[in-house]
Amino acid sequence: MNNNLSIGFIGAGNMAWAIIGALVKSEVLPRKNIIASDIAAERLELAEKEFGISTTQDNAQVFAKSNAVVLAVKPQFLPEVLNNLAASPGYPGEGRKLIISIAAGVGCAKMEGILYAGLDEEAKSRLPIVRVMPNTPALVGQGMAGMAPNAYALEEDRQTAQTIMDAAGKALWFDEKDINGVTALSGSGPAYVFYLAEAMVRGGVEVGLPEDKALEMAIQTIKGAALLMEETGEAPGLLREKVTSKGGTTAAALNVFNENKVLEAIVQGMLAAKKRGEELG
């Protein structure tokens, strides 16, 4: 347990909730070292009861009391939040403070433009930024996040961000230029899996299975296949080949997928997601 780490969350929505819950469960730091703010008082009351953490509706208080601040507000609200922080009395304060943003589509340069305005080089160096692209399986402790540091983030800052995001799953480091690619794969990826499950359930019903049992079978099949990939370490293509007998039922299904260029469609979809991320950013 790290008694020296204090983490503040500005925004207490679903993703912040998942990370807070994971931190509390894993006992990475004492509950008393976590504080959260939100515009909804009832959300904060629930957080106090659920996690035993401190709460406030004053974002500046969260900033002042924490040595790592997680920005967990909707992207359209982030500029206003950052401008208000930068205008708060005593900003940026003494000591080092890590800023971690999980706001989708907002690059480090945009945040630097607000947070670093009017600061000298020494003050900027004490306010490193890490941009994070999480995904929704973090809500069940199985998230996959991509993280990108700005120029002022040191190894100690990377370790802190790693500790926070690993509590809710896994996290990997990238150059910021790759974050839109991360978004296209893991950020949007859960929707692709849900889409596959949706198709499997529909197909199950078409072949005569009850919908509830088709759903249960689809979930377990996807879960088991993912675990098999992880534990064997074998490439997905190799595992696919191993389960596909020439002239068999699996081959019949895959032939239809290939005729309809399903794999190519998924790749094209990811390219479209990356392009849209670049447009939004």
From the centroid of its chain, how far is CA 224?
Answer: 23
Query: Does 150 count as an annotated binding residue?
Result: no
Confirm or deny that 11 is annotated as ligand binding: yes
169 marked as binding residue: no
Three-state secondary structure call for residue 149: strand
Left (φ > 0), alpha (ψ -120 to 50) or beta: where does 110 sit?
alpha
Q: Single out the residue of 3, 20, 1 nearest to residue 11, CA to CA.
A: 20
> Is 72 annotated among the ligand-binding residues?
yes
The response to whether 59 counts as a known ligand-binding position is yes
The rounded distance, in Å, linking the Cα atoms of 185 and 195 is 14
3-state secondary structure of 191: helix
The response to whether 75 counts as a known ligand-binding position is yes
Strand 68-71 and strand 143-149: pairing?
unpaired
Alpha carbon dihedral 186, 188, 192, 197, in 10-degree steps, equals 90
- 164 annotated to a ligand binding site: no
Whether 73 has a binding-site annotation, put simply, is yes
Length of the chain: 281
The DSSP symbol for 173 reads: E
Residue found by looking up tokens 């974002």 in the block: 59
Q: What residues form the annotated binding site for NADP(+)?
A: 10-15, 72-75
Q: What residues form the annotated binding site?
A: 10-15, 59, 72-75
Q: What residues form the annotated binding site for NADPH?
A: 59
